Amino acid sequence: MKDNTLLPLNNFKKIKGPLVAVVLDGIGFGKDDGSDGVKVSYTPTLDKLFKEPLFTRLKAHGTAVGLPTDDDMGNSEVGHNALGAGRVFAQGAKLVSEAIASGAIFSGTSWSVIENRCGAGGTLHLIGLVSDGNVHSHIDHLYAILNRCEESRIARVRIHGLLDGRDVGATSALDYFAPLEHHCAEMQKRGCNCRIASGGGRMVTTMDRYGADWTIVERGWNTHVLGSGRMFSSATEAISTYYEEDPGMTDQYMDPFVIADGTEPVGTIADGDSVVFFNFRGDRAIEISRAFEDQEFSHFDRQRYPEVFYAGMMEYDGDTKIPANYLVEPPAIDNTLGEYLCASGIRSFAISETQKFGHVTYFWNGNKSGYIDANLEKYVEIESDKLAFDLKPWMKAAEITDLVTEAIRSGRYDFIRVNYANGDMVGHTGVEPAIRIAVETVDLCLSRLLAAVEKAGGICLITADHGNADCMWTQKNGVRSPMVAHTLNPVPLIVKDYAQANRFLMAGIPEPGLANVAATLCVLLGLQPPGDYEPSLLELTTS
């Protein structure tokens, strides 16, 4: 077995306090104008930090985090993978696209089982986010599966499409569902009975994460499996009707709908069927997977539990093996920073609220749940509020800060990592006053945290996983539209050294990205970074 103990850094002088890594989720550098929620907010703490000598901007999207192209926005999952792994791994969309191109997605056991069950009369149900946002899913992947269904002579296919409005335009659903309906109609002409069967907005139907609100999953179960809900003759009719009834409606919060012939749902899920959840990102796929797979399930009354073969696009949790079956192998992320630090005896503390707790644990640790070494680590989750984030944009930042400052004062930890979710979760609402409050909340909490680090004689590294609050709206032909998706903007990297025991200089890494942070943390802890990690952004100097 490989020894992951890291060697001490030559000439490093031990510091009194801990190293604290702060992820300002969703806070990047925007256009420096009125659309930039970070710029227009009152942020005295960040303003000072951006003038620190140990400061740079990091790339947090595209190829820097393992996505196919630099047109692909980053997200919290791949961002935290990069932060915790110290290297760039091919991620979700890229993995799936490669598997489709090679045919590997359809050559495994799972697809073979699906073909056999459908050949015996079962229906194939495809559930997932219908957009080209490329964060949770991509509609091209859905079309690739539909094309394979025809090649495999699968006779009956039903699509349960979730509306995005978050990683794409806020009211762009018809741009995806209208062509998809046409595609289904063409498939029917060629002999494949393919129809859209149900749908709903991603924030109210099916796609909950981290157990924040199981009623979202229950709503999806009732809609997709039971065919229970408001009925329409087509998805486009449903979407258009909801828009007409509520001009302020956005896709991500659209009520669920069921497609029916008269009063008969066209696509309930029954014994003998197969189900593929075609999202590739794991966080919002785990709970619906459990609803399909867990024999003993208590989060809501499923009413009816059909015998189906369920497969995810990918394995969403490698430790708990959710789901049991999947179409595309996940990235094999080994030798994470957490593994090295545990092997080196570093005592760690990780904390966030529910919405981002999995990011500073599961994703940071290479898509693995649980402790690496429970004797050296402590993970703390603060339960998120169950209401729209623009209604309480301060979220749980104060409670997080209370516990972080307590952990700093305790002297029990060498390394502390924390995620403030406000910039991302409130940024996704597109509500400008709320975004400003969110950013200002984080700035205020950061000032409290820094004071605790200073008093303890520690070091604070501050960064972000991607942008969001840095672009609140876009403007075209004089008309403003809320910007609710992540951005392609760079994010900060600041090191505030209150210990002053060692002298660090910026290493001058060209085009640095999130993957450079892990080695940087090693250096700040006085450890030699692993040789295959992206290089440290800082170098220790004795001059």
Kindly report whether the peptide bond that precedes residue 323 is cis, defined as omega within 30 degrees of 0: yes
Could you give the angle at the alpha carbon of 11 between the alpha carbons of 10 and 12, nearest 5°?
95
Neighbours of 294 (CB within 10 A): 13
Name the amino acid, one letter, at 350: A
* Spatial contact of 219 and 200, defined as CB atoms under 8 Å apart: yes
Provide long-range contacts, Cβ within 8 A and 24+ apart, for 399-406: 399/353, 400/351, 400/352, 400/353, 400/445, 401/445, 401/448, 401/449, 403/351, 404/20, 404/351, 404/449, 404/452, 405/448, 405/449, 405/452
Q: Are 141 and 157 in contact (CB under 8 A)?
A: no
3-class SS string, 207-233 = CCCCCCCHHHHHHHHHHHCCCCCCEEC
Residue 76 designated active-site:
yes
Closest to 77 (Cα-Cα) out of 424, 328, 371: 424
Catalytic residue among 35, 41, 76, 198: 76
Can you say whether the dihedral through the CA atoms of 14, 15, 17, 18 is positive or negative? Answer: negative
Q: 67: exposed, middle or buried (C-beta count within 10 Å: 0-12, 13-18, 19+)?
A: buried
Q: Which residues pair with 419 in a beta bridge?
A: 23
Pairwise CA distance, residues 257 & 259, whole Å: 7
* Pairing, β 491-497 against β 55-58: antiparallel
**Pick from 13, 73, 52: which is nearest to 463 by CA?**
52
Instruction: Please list the active-site residues.
Output: 76
